[in-house]
Chain A
């Protein structure tokens, strides 16, 4: 009788705790999903792959880290996301080498990142087109950065992670994050200025 009662109490307690974690993690995923998708899309430049990457990252976070303190979720999630992005990029590089070895052309080399950009929107179409063009230029400039600088920039600037969380997400020291980020900012400013992108430097 006592044992049955204690099992029932434990069940109820776990149910409540599980439901609370479920609600918290759902709110977290809802907040980051669109941003994570844009970050993945900028790096893999394929909508389907970007969606798959985000879904995988969500599932892995839930499966492995749902019981960790919620303040750890963001760096863990972005770490998983970046690992998945790197996996996709490595697979592509191997495929590309394989295809070029046999004299073909890899389809991703022909991929046009501008075609994947979101459609213009807003009240003033001209302003919006200018903003979209600027964003596309930024994306192209980001693409040419070294991978670690790009990651640091996206996590710190786009996602708003602090230095410590970015270091956890990137699996490096806080000093490295600062260096990568600072170099990324300077390089992006230079590249965009060289291409006459007044939007960023005016």
Chain B
């Protein structure tokens, strides 16, 4: 028991002696230790930036994959079939220089004209 007490006292003294020797470290050594700590923390900062990149990577990958998939599907879908003659007709109208507004105003006249018997077979003549 007394030896245990002796051990405890001895342990307290060694601990105090060590603490004192740490407190006695000179300023130059402390400065170097501070620099060493900053160097280590820089590692943490750069690791964090690398971590950012990698953490954003899955989101970026998902977005890029979705875009590629959309483009592939869009390219692969065949356009609705359009009759060639009608398509050409539409193209002519779109490219033509006629005044479409005038056509719109006189459409009733052309409708009436088409219904008249004397003009019914005009296209078939000749």
Interface residues of A (CB under 8 A from B): 3, 6-7, 10-11, 14, 18, 21-22, 25-26, 29-30, 33-35, 37-38, 47, 51, 54-55, 58-59, 61-63, 66, 117-121, 131-132, 134-135, 138, 157-158, 160, 185-186, 188-189, 199-201
Question: Which residues of A are found within 8 Å of B6, using beta-carbon distances?
Answer: 189, 201
Contact partner of A134 (CB less than 8 A), chosen from B17, B22, B26, B29, is B17
* A131 contacts B17, C-beta separation under 8 Å: yes
How would you classify the secondary structure of chain B's contact residues: helix, strand, loop or mixed? helix
CB distance from B50 to the nearest CB of A (A): 11
* B24 contacts A33, C-beta separation under 8 Å: no
Contact partner of B51 (CB less than 8 A), chosen from A14, A33, A135, is A14
- Size category, B interface: 35 or more
Task: Give me the 10 closest cross-chain CB pairs, A-B, nearest first.
Answer: A58-B40, A55-B36, A118-B24, A18-B48, A158-B18, A33-B33, A62-B44, A59-B40, A135-B17, A62-B40
Contact partner of B56 (CB less than 8 A), chosen from A7, A38, A61, A199, is A7
**Which residue on chain B has the smallest CB distance to residue A33?**
B33
* A26 contacts B37, C-beta separation under 8 Å: yes
Question: Could you tell me the distance between the alpha carbons of A47 and B20 in the complex, rounded to whole angstroms?
Answer: 18
Question: Could you tell me the distance between the alpha carbons of A132 and B10 in the complex, rounded to whole angstroms?
Answer: 16
CB distance from A71 to the nearest CB of B (A): 18
Question: Could you tell me the distance between the alpha carbons of A47 and B24 in the complex, rounded to whole angstroms?
Answer: 15
* B11 contacts A118, C-beta separation under 8 Å: no
In chain B between 39 and 88, which residues have their CB closer than 8 angstroms to a CB of chain A?
39-41, 43-45, 47-48, 51-52, 55-56, 59, 62-63
Question: Which residues of B are found within 8 Å of A10, using beta-carbon distances?
Answer: 55-56, 59
Question: Which residues of A are found within 8 Å of B34, using beta-carbon distances?
Answer: 33
* A185 contacts B26, C-beta separation under 8 Å: no
* A66 contacts B44, C-beta separation under 8 Å: yes
